[in-house]
Structure 1
Amino acid sequence: MKTALIHDWLPFMGGAERVLTNFLELYPNSPVYTTICNRERLDGPLKDADIRVSSLQKGKKNIENHRKLFPFMPTAMENFDLNEYDVVLSSSSSVAKGVITNPNTMHMCYCHSPMRYGWEFSYEYASKMAGGSKIKNKVLGYFLSGMRLWDNVSADRVDYFIANSENVARRIWKHYRRESVVIHPPVRCGLFKPSEVDEDYFLILSRLQEYKRIDVAIEAFNKSGLPLVIIGDGPDRDKLEKMANSNVKFLGRQPDEVIKDYYAKCRGFIFPGEEDFGITPLEAQASGRPVVAYAKGGALETVIADVTGVFFEEQTEESLNKAIKRFETMNFDKNEIRKHAEKFDESIFKSKIDTYVNKCYMEFKEEKHWEVIRGE
């Protein structure tokens, strides 16, 4: 079974890249096709993987702002020749699922999310990108309409969908009218360990982008005066640093050794955004630490109310601070929190993926998919 792996882009390591790493560990001889790659910013098996980039890289060593290339990415994906492969496994939150395969190749898509900026989150993205310009907003509206058409058409190229959460499975059905199985993303439980040291700070680990709603957390901690450590970088960092008081500390991007130490010793992990799944709350729980999470999206599938964390109902300073005050009156069991996270361990993830890929490939070879198409 000759396999190829497809990924939207590889500018740096993140949750989706950890999924791709697990795919590569399952299928170590598989090449990785992607639009752009900053290899120096990758780690683990991806560092030395056979990564094949599109023409968008144009010989450049690094691409600092891959988002500006987005209008050209659908075509870049369609230009990859994948005819030699028996199985194509795409890891997609955007364009990766749009690769073209022949009728003898099974295409399975692990969907982190239907294209966020194409569907229900498009209004937020368009408003930010337009910067208040009515003309730009109108032009972006036409562009995003075109992207929705392509996104919907490209979904039909996938033979089997895997959703990373029940939340994403509902969105796949809503936007593509396709069924999917749910296999939650992997947590590196072996990396994170509980600590007996309890330090007096709350923690955020996140890409600093608008939809992550780090601003809500900063407003809440500005008012409460409690210490907050923020690890991560992104386009909103300058704006967020300017609005933060001295009790909020920004550390930027940090290596795993530093991150796991901060996870293990924090009072609790703050998760203020609505994510399709969200791996960081589970990393915190693998470290034995409870989570204060916004009660929407994937967090509802990974945090157990009053056992491994607490929820807040509205993305406001008042709602978050109310939840933190309740959090401070509660006692949490580190071992119980850790055991919950272990249900999402990467060993379980890889076993489920391998089993499902083999099952579907056998069906595909036996042409059961043709029976469905013919209505037999």
Structure 2
Amino acid sequence: MADLAPNEMLLPDPRRFGRVAIVHDWLVTYAGSERVLEQIIRLWPDAELFSIVDFFPDEQRAVLGGKRAKTSFIQRLPRARTAFRAYLPLMPIAIEQFDLSGFDLVITSSHAVAKGVITSPNQVHVSYVHSPIRYAWDLQHQYLTQSGAVRGPKSWAARAVLHYMRIWDQRTANGVDEFIANSAFIGRRIRKIYGCDARVVYPPVDIERFEPGARRDRFYLIASRMVPYKRIPLIVEAFARMPERELVVIGDGPDFERVRALAGPNVKVLGYQPSSVLIDHMQRARAFVFAAEEDFGISVVEAQACGTPVIAYGRGGALETVIESSDPRFGTGVFFDEQSVDALVDAVERFEAHAPFDPEVCRLNAARFSVERFRRDFVRVVEETIDHRSVKSLAFDTAPALAHR
């Protein structure tokens, strides 16, 4: 199927899929996983939506097709709107209470517990995994540190809960007919944790919102939520060592005050900015800087869609979205090997030695992650899962008859 404009994209034939349920962990903001959910809903606009909680902003609900999710009992618990993550130990129970018995196809969009819904042998369950539960697996120690639960009774209680979550998470993997990972990096994590393979379908990036700008300025750009694993303070500290280079920081979050305190005269901290301002800066930036080990990293692709090269930490999804080449005519950025000030300073110097990069090459690389490509690949995986399931069912149905011959 050739790439089509979003409003021309053919919808799957509903007769082939029957009744469809879509399950998402929680609905509180429009971020990376919600962009995936938006496109899944557009593919199956008549599907019913389920979520642990739904506090999604009404002014943005159009991206969900105007749908309101059927929610769990956690929706009605005290302070659920502002502190729903505190109920993480209850989420496995909550997700298992959804009655999905009336649906033929169940699609889960999961970075926590959504893939743990209960389905029957007669249903097809396809799970798009943004990541296995980060809190319980590779980010456990970071989670305990941030929660002040490194030692003492609180720590032992938290560790017991996370141990339970890991056991539950592994067990419920058996209820999934097909895993889809948002990157090969997450595919390897799924293999390590759940012991099964996953198909890779990269998240959709609205490439058409971005285009190369008319001019390039001298500043470097970081645009991100300021949460610890994004390592924004590290980037600011690195540029403090390079006073001749200007850095612009867009975003807010728990690390905002720390970032602002570290910022020197060559660092401008703009805080949250509307998308028009963000895109303008992406179009004019000399390079986009990214220091997180991210599952995929949509902002890295958006920057390249603006023709802007990337300086990225060489772990995680960035290795699949940025091209490092000894010839800048064919590359879209450079990597650094460790999350340290020295490594990032060295990467900036190597970037300057290679610059300029070709904006058209950056743009073409970003086009690999378009919305149309996501829709086409996602539907293909679902269809192939159903076909494979039908063949297996036929084999099971005919086996007893063959045995009596």
Structure 2 CA distance for partners of 1:77 and 1:249, relative to 1, 3 Å: farther
TM-score by length of 1: 0.93
How far off its partner does 1:199 sit? 2.3
- Of residues 54-63 and 96-105 in structure 1, the stretch that sits farther from structure 2 once superposed is 54-63
> How many equivalent pairs are there?
374
- For residue 10 of structure 1, the aligned residue among 27, 32, 40 is 27
- Of residues 219-228 and 96-105 in structure 1, the stretch that sits farther from structure 2 once superposed is 219-228
Of structures 1 and 2, the larger Rg is shown by 2
Matched, 1:141 2:166: no
- Aligned residue for 1:156, secondary structure, equals helix
Q: What is the rounded CA distance, in whole Å, between the counterparts of 2:284 and 2:41 in structure 1?
A: 32
Structure 2 CA distance for partners of 1:43 and 1:340, relative to 1, 3 Å: farther
Alignment check: 8 A CA contact 2:263 2:269 kept: no
Gaps of 5+ in 2: 1-17, 326-330
Alignment check: 8 A CA contact 1:127 1:137 kept: no
Alignment-derived partner of residue 129 in structure 1: 147
How far off its partner does 1:61 sit? 11
How far off its partner does 1:65 sit? 3.1
Matched, 1:96 2:114: yes
Letter in 1 for 2:332: T
- Aligned residue for 1:63, secondary structure, equals helix
Alignment-derived partner of residue 316 in structure 1: 340
Q: What is the rounded CA distance, in whole Å, between the counterparts of 2:51 and 2:269 in structure 1?
A: 31
Q: What is the rounded CA distance, in whole Å, between the counterparts of 2:65 and 2:77 in structure 1?
A: 18
Q: What is the rounded CA distance, in whole Å, between the counterparts of 1:369 and 1:331 in structure 2?
A: 58
Q: Which runs of 4+ in 1 moved over 6 A?
A: 59-62
Alignment-derived partner of residue 276 in structure 1: 295
Letter in 1 for 2:341: E
Matched, 1:304 2:323: yes
Q: What is the rounded CA distance, in whole Å, between the counterparts of 2:302 and 2:388 in structure 1?
A: 35
Matched, 1:54 2:69: no
How far off its partner does 1:198 sit? 1.4
What are the residue-to-residue correspondences of 1:317-332 with 2, within 5 Å?
Answer: 317-329=341-353, 330-332=355-357
Superposed CA offset, 1:295-325 (max 9, x none): 1111111100031000011101111011111
Alignment-derived partner of residue 73 in structure 1: 91
Gaps of 5+ in 1: none
Q: What is the rounded CA distance, in whole Å, between the counterparts of 1:316 and 1:21 in structure 2?
A: 36
Alignment-derived partner of residue 255 in structure 1: 274
- Of residues 337-346 and 30-39 in structure 1, the stretch that sits farther from structure 2 once superposed is 30-39
- Of residues 73-82 and 331-340 in structure 1, the stretch that sits farther from structure 2 once superposed is 73-82
Letter in 2 for 1:55: F
Matched, 1:117 2:135: yes
Q: What is the rounded CA distance, in whole Å, between the counterparts of 1:203 and 1:32 in structure 2?
A: 37
Alignment check: 8 A CA contact 1:130 1:140 kept: no
Alignment-derived partner of residue 251 in structure 2: 232
Q: What is the rounded CA distance, in whole Å, between the counterparts of 2:116 and 2:394 in structure 1?
A: 20
Superposed CA offset, 1:316-373 (max 9, x none): 11110111112122210001110011011110110011111112112223444975xx
How far off its partner does 1:269 sit? 0.7
How far off its partner does 1:124 sit? 1.7
Q: What is the rounded CA distance, in whole Å, between the counterparts of 1:237 and 1:82 in structure 2?
A: 42
- Aligned residue for 1:204, secondary structure, equals strand
Q: What is the rounded CA distance, in whole Å, between the counterparts of 1:305 and 1:10 in structure 2?
A: 36
Alignment-derived partner of residue 375 in structure 2: 350
Superposed CA offset, 1:33-65 (max 9, x none): 111222217354226124222222228998223
Letter in 1 for 2:56: R
Alignment-derived partner of residue 289 in structure 1: 308
Matched, 1:334 2:325: no
TM-score by length of 2: 0.87
Q: What is the rounded CA distance, in whole Å, between the counterparts of 2:101 and 2:151 in structure 1?
A: 44
Superposed CA offset, 1:155-174 (max 9, x none): 11111101111111111111
Aligned alpha-carbon RMSD (Å) = 2.3
- Aligned residue for 1:64, secondary structure, equals helix
- Aligned residue for 1:274, secondary structure, equals coil
- Aligned residue for 1:288, secondary structure, equals coil
Structure 2 CA distance for partners of 1:62 and 1:321, relative to 1, 3 Å: same
Q: What is the rounded CA distance, in whole Å, between the counterparts of 2:117 and 2:68 in structure 1?
A: 18
Alignment-derived partner of residue 223 in structure 2: 205
Alignment-derived partner of residue 3 in structure 2: none
Structure 2 CA distance for partners of 1:38 and 1:261, relative to 1, 3 Å: farther
Alignment check: 8 A CA contact 2:54 2:68 kept: no
- For residue 362 of structure 1, the aligned residue among 380, 387, 404 is 387
